[in-house]
Chain A
Amino acid sequence: MSRQNTRLDVKKVNSELFTLTYGAIVSQLMKDYENVEDVNKQLDRMGYNIGVRMVEDFLARTNAGRCYDLRETADKIQYAFKMYLGITPALTNWSAAGDEFSLTFDTNPLTEFVELPDNYQNLKYSNILCGALRGSCEMVQMDVSCWFVQDQLKGDLATELRIKFNKRLEDAIPAGED
């Protein structure tokens, strides 16, 4: 199979428009919900919806084949970050069993102009990323968990997103069919 050149030259938009729009969403959520945990959940849900649809776009554009281990998946995730957000996170801290790794970001376009007030230290500002990863992995039959280990917004040196592979999802056969 001849591998087509990956089509990275998709249309782009200004990243600041993106950053501030995301900021507007988060601040709206903060206004609408009293509990910070609910905001985190809502962001995760939004991310999930995005991930579910984004993985399709990714597969269509990159001709990516099947991954045979998590390291391959990690490379693809890294590439997807490059493709969609223009950043290349480092793949670090692999667990011994090879089922867990971290994405480490120097910069995060989502948090470009953001400063967390002291009383909102529980807010997972970029939680939408966790949701997006969970959603997109689920669509390729992988059940993963994602969470933030470090966050630059909270004074850490880098932002670290941990991904753990839980299990492979089997294709569920719709009820009533053999």
Chain B
Amino acid sequence: MTEFLSSKPLFKMNPIQISNMRQKTSILDKSISKGKGEINMNCFALMFSELVQYCQGKAHTVNELQTRLSDLGQEVGMKLIDLHFLREKNSKREIKLLNMLLFIKSTFWKSFFGREADKLEHSNDDDSTYYIIEKEPLVNKFISVPKDKGNLNCAVFVGGIIEGILNSSGFYSFAQLGLKFKHSINNTEKIDSTALNFNAKVTAHWHKGTTYMVKFEDHVITRDKQMDEHEELGFSAFGLRNLYNRYPTAMVP
């Protein structure tokens, strides 16, 4: 198509024609795959190794490297969870923190990493911290960390995936969601940057294998507790869930 256009620069297309042509090849016309596709693990491992090497070349410190890996993971996580919700027509969005974490630990892990994560734990002394523990993460299978990079854990990529999921699956505070929604209706001004702040931070540590430490921001915890109280008072969470389902994050710019 490009050749055609460039060889005949004088030929002017009207906009409608162009959009018609695009529709033919649009990715949205294809039906979504069933998601049963599998590829050789070595293939993934080698590609991941290239990814790590590339990030290493760009980073000067171990921390920087971990941040880069985590950022990449977040992109992947956001897309994976979108894909999951798009495909599973009947699954509803979890609005409770614990349920969401359990969903990640079991359902999500199983469909994308082949098995459940080993453990989910809640920190004893900090309400807002949870741990997802995996003895042998997929990505670390073929990685041996050199001595001078002692605390590097490449599973921080998977940590990024978790972070991406949590931050994109409606774990905003209610007020923020309202704010965003209002903006998207009025379409007048850009979204307040604070509304896009992360709500969870995930890091990976060498502890019982690999431990992903999920730390939520306080307002997420507060909201979760409020929801419990509401339920005790007899309000159902239905209204809230309905709202989340009706305006999934993908619709909010």
Contact = CB atoms under 8 A, between A and B. Distances in A.
Contacts of B2: 121, 154
B41 A12 contact: yes
B40 A85 contact: yes
Interface stretch (A62-70, A92-100, A106-114, A140-148): A106-114
Contact of B39 (A15, A42, A115): A15
B86 to A, nearest CB: 11
B143 interface: no
Nearest to A132: B46
Given A10-B41, A13-B38, A13-B114, A18 B47 contact: yes
B37 A115 contact: no
B79 A113 contact: yes
Nearest to B1: A155
Nearest to A45: B50
B145 interface: no
B40 A21 contact: no
A66 to B, nearest CB: 23
Nearest to B74: A24
A20 B76 contact: yes
Contacts of A23: 75-76, 79
B47 A13 contact: no
Interface residues of B, number: 35
B54 A12 contact: no
A84 B43 contact: yes
A115 B27 contact: yes
A24 B70 CA distance: 11
Determine the main DSSP class of A at the interface with B. Answer: helix
Interface stretch (A48-56, A71-79, A165-173): A48-56
Interface in B1-53: 1-2, 25-27, 33, 35, 37-44, 46-48, 50-51, 53
A29 B53 CA distance: 13
Contacts of B240: none
Contacts of A11: 40-41
B237 interface: no
Contacts of A86: 37-40
B39 A85 contact: yes
B58 interface: yes
A157 to B, nearest CB: 10
B152 interface: no
A13 B44 contact: yes
Interface of B: 1-2, 25-27, 33, 35, 37-44, 46-48, 50-51, 53-54, 58, 72-73, 75-76, 79-80, 83, 111-114, 138
Counting from the closest, the 9 A-B pairs by CB-CB distance are: A15-B37, A12-B38, A11-B41, A46-B50, A50-B46, A84-B40, A84-B43, A24-B72, A115-B27
